[in-house]
Amino acid sequence: MHRTYLQSISEPDFYSFVQQIPSAMDWKWLWEFLEGMIKPVAALAVVLVAVLLSYFQRLRLEGEMVYAVFRAFLQLSVIGFVLQFIFTQKNAGWIVLAYLFMVSVAAYTAGQRAKHVPRGKYIAGMAILVGTAVTMFMLVILKVFPFTPRYIIPVAGMMVGNAMTVTGVTMKKLRDDIKIQMNLVETALALGATPRQATLQQVKRALIIALSPVLDNAKTVGLISLPGAMTGLIMGGASPLEAIQLQIVVMNMLIGASTVSSILSTYLCWPTFFTKTYQLETKVFSLD
């Protein structure tokens, strides 16, 4: 008579086989997660206040508020499980994969902000990728952070998010300023100026406006509010002095990554704004 694999093994071997079943059957992690969600659920009380205020003020934002909170809960829960998995791995490929995913989302978002810039998502993606990768490489080489998921992924997330905002603003502002001052740019081109020379003032203005919030945050850090990284460390039990040291590193890397990304985005925008004969691409600036 045909015997299955389980029937063919002896009783001691059977118990040994059962013990080797993956620990995924152990739902202790799920219980701990649900238990830890008690405080976040309790914090929904303040959202309820906001929803009620929106209702009585007839703002009609109740649905959007509930959707935003639910989406944030879902996204953070999913990313929490993903990070938990990645942190337990010793494969650098997972770090690179997570980093590229963040850059892709950031490129799409920044490209949407500068939607009238041709190939805006590609330009934003390249600028963010280079700016954050160069900064991260320097931090690892200088041994500021070890190349482990627990350090690299959160740090990369902060840099990518900041570079996304700065790059999107730079691209949009540059295109809008050139459109407003097309006559000045065309006059400079007619006098023999290169595209870079003809748009130098517009580039400077776009970069200053985009980088000003980053620099303002650095100037007022710790005076108006405690930054996220510093707050998280203090709430996690670290000493304020340790938190300050990390926050200084974070502040420096955000300035570096944002500056590289924003400047690179202007260089990548020029070929899309001008023809090969150094004339403005009128179709780029004809859209509102």
13 vs 229, higher pLDDT:
229
Predicted local confidence at residue 16, as pLDDT? 52
* 194 φ, ψ (degrees, to nearest 5): -80, 165
Predicted local confidence at residue 288, as pLDDT? 66
The counts of H helices and E strands in the chain are: 15, 0
Q: Is the dihedral of CA 267, 270, 272, 275 positive or negative?
A: negative
Range with the lowest mean pLDDT among 22-26, 145-149, 209-213? Answer: 22-26
Predicted local confidence at residue 6, as pLDDT? 47
Q: Residue 227: pLDDT band by 50, 70, 90 thresholds? A: confident
Question: What is the tens place of the pLDDT at every residue in 230-242?
Answer: 888 888 888 888 8
Question: What is the tens place of the pLDDT at every residue in 53-87?
Answer: 999 999 999 999 999 999 999 999 898 888 888 88
Predicted local confidence at residue 11, as pLDDT? 52
Cα distance between residue 146 and residue 133, in whole Å: 15
Cα distance between residue 210 and residue 262, in whole Å: 8
Q: Is a pLDDT exceeding 50 seen at residue 5?
A: no
Question: What is the tens place of the pLDDT at every residue in 85-131?
Answer: 888 887 889 999 999 999 999 999 999 999 899 999 999 999 999 99
Domain extents in the chain? 1-88, 91-288
Q: Is a pLDDT exceeding 70 seen at residue 18?
A: no
Cα distance between residue 194 and residue 113, in whole Å: 27
Q: End-to-end CA distance of the chain: give it in Å, rounded.
A: 79
12 vs 183, higher pLDDT:
183
Cα distance between residue 22 and residue 197, in whole Å: 64
